[in-house]
Amino acid sequence: MNLWQKLIMRRLYNEQHGEGGEGGGGAATEPTQETSATDKNEPPANGDDPKKSTEKENGGEQGKPADKKNDANEPDVGAPEKYEFKAPEEGQELDKGALEVFEPIARELNLNNEQAQKLVDVYGSKIMPAINKQLAEGWQKQTEQWAETVKADKELGSDESIGAAQKAMDKFGSPELKQYLEESGLGNHPELIRIFAGVGKAMSEDGLVTGNSNGSKSAADVLFG
């Protein structure tokens, strides 16, 4: 009996079985041995392969181990009891104040040590240099504006005022003070120049000399009144 004949016999059997159940008087015909054999060879109705179903229950396909969520080689998940941070670059020191602010945030976000370290590296190697550069450029711009303000002031920027300020600086300013004012840019501050210019003019007008000299004023008298 070929496959086509087997299918025809199965259909006839199903029709006879259904009519007998609905009418109540139909006689059920037992399936032939060939039909039973066909039923045994048909795949399950849901289309699943019994072999694959068994493999799923056993944790995956044959020859492939099941996924392990808690692999010992996987990185730690979640915040540790204590973070251990390293400086992003050799010779660079960690900002302890910034870490005190950062650690509670990292713990709140449940970052593991590796994830938190990446943020520390980005902060130290990219964010902080960018901030320092911005601050330096801003300060440079400020000192240049002070210098322009002095030049624009007819009295303060005159040769007389600048010369008097230089005279006072040479007289009372230490080498360390001169270096600091020059390197920091504070030497361009209009009010600082105004003070030294006033001192220099007072030195010229009052004939300032050092020591005691027939009623002449001392340096302290000129500077502090």
Whole-number Å distance between alpha carbons of 208 and 199: 10
Higher pLDDT, 170 or 216: 170
Residue 134 and residue 94 share a domain: yes
- Tens digits of per-residue pLDDT, 119-173? 999 998 899 999 999 999 999 999 999 999 999 999 999 999 999 999 999 999 9
For residue range 72-114, what is the model confidence (pLDDT) as tens digits? 455 567 899 999 999 888 888 888 899 999 999 999 999 999 9
For 24-43, the pLDDT digits (tens) are 444 444 444 444 444 555 55
State the residue range of the domain holding 138.
Answer: 83-145
The answer to whether residue 141 sits within a structural domain is yes
Tally of domains in the chain:
2
User: For the residues of 111-162, what is the DSSP string, one character each?
Assistant: --HHHHHHHHHHIIIIIHHHHHHHHHHHHHHHHHHHHHHHHH-TTTTSHHHH
Nearest to residue 203, comparing CAs of 217, 215, 187? 217
**Does residue 21 sit within a domain?**
no
116 and 163, same domain (yes or no): no
Residue pair 112/148 in contact (Cβ under 8 Å)? The answer is no
Regarding whether 217 and 175 lie in a shared domain, the answer is: yes
